[in-house]
Structure 1
Amino acid sequence: MKFKTGIVLLLTFAAFGQTIAQDKWESLFNGKDFKGWKQLNGKAKYEVRNGEIVGTTVSNEPNSFMATEKNYGDFILELELLVDNSMNSGVQFRSLSKADYRDGRVHGYQMEIDPSSRAWSGGVYDEGRRGWLYNMEINPEGKKAFKPGQWNKYRIEAIGNTLRTWVNGIPTAHVVDAETASGFIALQVHSIRKDETPGKEIRWRNIRIQTSNLQPSKPDGIFIANYIPNHLSPQEKAKGYSLLFDGKNTSQWRGAYKTTFPTQGWEVVENELRVKDADGSESTNGGDIVTLKEYSAFEFQFDFKLSKGANSGVKYFVTESEGNKGSAIGPEYQILDDATHPDAKLGRDGNRTLGSLYDLMTSKKIPAAQKAVGEWNKGIIRVYPDNRVEYWLNGHNILNYTRGSAEFLKLVSESKYKDWKNFGMAPKGRLLLQDHGNAVAFRSLKIKQL
């Protein structure tokens, strides 16, 4: 009897334990009505049909949102969706609607639903605020996760400052950001113009959430977009990134051709490393600064902010061996206010414009990558062990070349660098931030050796 009683108790406990595990998930939609939800902004049609939420486009209406009445901070959210292949939508999270912000405009993080050929499903957009935080160009494998015309499973993990997304089990975005800690979850029906055909549908089902005892998914290999200035997340540290500027000191830099950091021309203000405005001349005030360490294959991330008419640049493979009287020599990621600085019209075919390989190769001009003067930009220079080089600007790949290739050598022979022996071909060198006599700010300088 004791043995049988023990078995019963064990089975009961096991069943109870299984119930507890299942109870970690809370359904956000009862399958019958919109209890616990409210519609915001536009007047797209929302209805409950066959245990699903169905959103339908209405012409000449702004973005519409079916939002939870409750706010959520840290959580794991899963849902399934089926969307018309010709429409756009999204899942809002940690989002807000306040009367004192653009008349109640919904704003906050959005996991993108994009069945178009652009294939940005799973990316993170800051609706009504900053725009794209993580477009899918930075994660080409993630672009393949969404299945047009089929049910897709979405997952969002918002834990602390870390925001991660998955589509059908494939990691799509990884954002580190501190803009909003809590807000509602909402299902978007995107606006359509007056002349567009209405009546396109998106369907949602199996909407569930966890809010306690959260266990984040294992680390993955996708790119991390960190919007907290001068900050390294634990995941970035694990991937091998380190800071070259912590917002306070310049201990990892010195003046080009010098043994110490410049005593003028540069300043650390508001956690930013700034070039002070002078007369616009090259390396005549504080002069360029270079890293103490040399690098060969690497990824260098840098945030930069231009003032009106400003000129600067990031150089690499700088050896300081050429004895130049002006700026130290090396391949350059051009930083420029194209609209007002005269250098934009010099060179050949725009090869001195923003994001170009200075005086050698013109960057792609992608409208979505362009930001107004005075806004922060995110640049990336990647140099692979096989000498391939990539330039990125605000999540977009804007330039590619290979050091030592026939194309590269031809470009050098036609440039201002033609008289510099083996230009850009040093096996290793320092990174350089240029002083061109214009006010430019830098922050979040991160390096990873490849």
Structure 2
Amino acid sequence: MARGQFDPAARDGKGLVFGYQIEADPTERAWSGGVYDEARRGWLYPLDLNPEAGSAFKLGEFNHYRIEAIGNEIKTWINGQEVAYVVDDMDSIGFVALQVHSVRDSSEAGRKTYFKNIKIQTENLKPEPFSKDVFVVNNTLNNLTEYEVSKGWKLLFNGQNSEGWKGAYKETFPESGWSISDGILTISKSDGGESTNAGDIVTVEKFSAFDLAFDFKLTEGANSGVKYFVTLSEGNKGSAIGLEYQILDDEKHPDAKMGREGNRTLASLYDLIKAEKQPRFLKPIGEWNKGRIVVTPDNKVTHYLNGIKVVEYQRGSQEFRDLVAISKYKIWPNFGEAAEGHILLQDHGDEVSFKNIKLKSLK
């Protein structure tokens, strides 16, 4: 644990250790070196975000861990391999701790973990930059690190105004309905209708292959979505047409029970592919979740929710087209196969907020 914290009053006076924990994970999941916020927010950097690093840890051997915590940046290495990169301002100081972890059942009793060569430097620190292109979990508000900028990331929302955005099928940003306050972009609640109040907003720029990350916060019963490859060529009423990362309160909104086999639930490819997610990786309504959509140049698409891969498909494949043929999108020729398109934030008549919207074009 790095920058660990202790609350002596927690658990009826038994005390509680919490904070940034760098994992040693010998299971098949292989998330060693990932960053977990123990007894607080859960996983900050699961290794679905850097799967190549899953092979760095060698079970049964001594592994060399390096943890760099300078300012609000935490980076980890295992055996020289770059693993996790987190930017977070929750704790700036704390203790170093070695964990005694519980076992899952009696068959694991007696297992041991060995440590050696433990050393620390606290003065004259110079950050060591990652050389590879590693995804950064940046929890600071609408901010990019120098490393992210050097790798081609840019903010789509600057936190101050609507620069770079306009209303769908419009030339300007909506005059009402969408608001920006304290770095947060919010669509206000109206009648629950699809794009019937302020309307959707889209990026002025179009994108083809990209890595898009965003934070979103739902209110109770809310519905929204992030669409991509939106061409605005259909001229339809309601929300503009495009592939959609569904944003939904699965418990309270009826759309979760509609569609086919759960393909309208949170983080799903709306009306096409259900997101395979575990409840323990979801944040409660009213808290911030992290979404991510990656479209590679070969048209492989991946949805992530809070760092966990939940949807994967091949855009334009026969399997994809077969799914479109039995969906609400079957009336649109070549649905979802445009070479490029806008990014869209949906107005579905419910209050939903966004921040930390960043994108990197892929080649």
TM-score, structure 2 length as denominator? 0.95
Deviation for aligned residue 1:197: 5.6
1:216 paired to 2:113: no
Q: Is this contact kept in 1: 2:82–2:130, CA < 8 A? A: no
Q: Is this contact kept in 2: 1:254–1:262, CA < 8 A? A: yes
Which residue is equivalent to 1:263?
175
1:228 paired to 2:133: no
Higher strand share: 1
Q: 2:26 aligns with which of 98, 115, 120?
A: 115
Q: 1:429 aligns with which of 341, 351, 358?
A: 341
SS in structure 2 at match of 1:152: coil
Which residue is equivalent to 1:399?
311
Which residue is equivalent to 2:40?
129
- Give the Cα separation in 2 of the matches to 1:407 and 1:333: 18
SS in structure 2 at match of 1:141: helix
Q: 1:384 aligns with which of 287, 292, 296?
A: 296
Report the number of matched residues. Answer: 359
Deviation for aligned residue 1:194: 8.4
1:98 paired to 2:12: no
SS in structure 2 at match of 1:246: coil
- Give the Cα separation in 1 of the matches to 2:104 and 2:327: 48
Deviation for aligned residue 1:139: 1.1
Deviation for aligned residue 1:202: 1.6
SS in structure 1 at match of 2:147: helix
Instruction: Provide closer, same or farther for how the CA distance between residues 412 and 197 of structure 1 changes in structure 2, counting only shifts above 3 A.
Output: closer
Q: Is this contact kept in 1: 2:211–2:295, CA < 8 A? A: yes
Q: 1:320 aligns with which of 232, 237, 241?
A: 232
Deviation for aligned residue 1:385: 1.0
Alignment of 1:33-432 (within 5 A): 92-99=1-8, 103=13, 104-192=15-103, 198-220=109-131, 221-432=133-344
Instruction: Provide closer, same or farther for how the CA distance between residues 254 and 100 of structure 1 changes in structure 2, counting only shifts above 3 A.
Output: farther
5+ residue gaps, structure 2, are: none
CA radius of gyration, larger in: 1
Deviation for aligned residue 1:98: 3.0
Q: Relative to structure 2, which stretch is displaced further, 118-127 or 212-221?
A: 212-221
Deviations 1:132-172 (A, max 9, x none): 10011211111101111111111101111110011111111
- One-letter amino acid matched to 1:379: G
Q: Is this contact kept in 2: 1:276–1:437, CA < 8 A? A: yes
Q: Is this contact kept in 1: 2:129–2:147, CA < 8 A? A: no
5+ residue gaps, structure 1, are: 1-91
SS in structure 1 at match of 2:179: strand
Q: Is this contact kept in 2: 1:366–1:398, CA < 8 A? A: no
SS in structure 2 at match of 1:164: strand
Deviation for aligned residue 1:422: 1.5
Deviations 1:325-345 (A, max 9, x none): 111111111111111110011
- Give the Cα separation in 2 of the matches to 1:143 and 1:304: 28
Deviation for aligned residue 1:199: 3.1
- One-letter amino acid matched to 2:321: L
Deviation for aligned residue 1:286: 0.5
